[in-house]
Amino acid sequence: MSEAVYSVSGMSCGHCESAVTKEVTAIPGVTSVTAVAKTGLVTVASEAPLEDDAIRAAVDEAGYELVGRA
């Protein structure tokens, strides 16, 4: 089991949290995602460490920007 926390810019509401959660959850191996608009942090739990590029692509698809690991 692996867990990483990422900083995402542009999230401002529950809809934003849902959009990011939906896209990141679709990455193979992801077991849970917690996005918090107030802090801009997204916590991702997965079966094995994930490539940052996969997270970046999912966050981009949701319409937000991955700043980096928090």
Q: Rounded to an integer, what distance in angstroms lies between the CA atom of residue 49 and that of residue 51?
A: 7
Q: What is the pLDDT of residue 24?
A: 98
pLDDT at 37: 98
Please give the CATH number for the structural domain made up of 2-69. Answer: 3.30.70.100
- Average predicted confidence (pLDDT) for the chain: 97
The pLDDT, as a whole number, for residue 34 is 98
Cβ neighbourhood burial of 48 (10 Å; 0-12, 13-18, 19+): exposed
pLDDT at 3 (0 to 100): 97
Region 26-33: mean pLDDT is: 98
> DSSP assignment, residue 37?
T
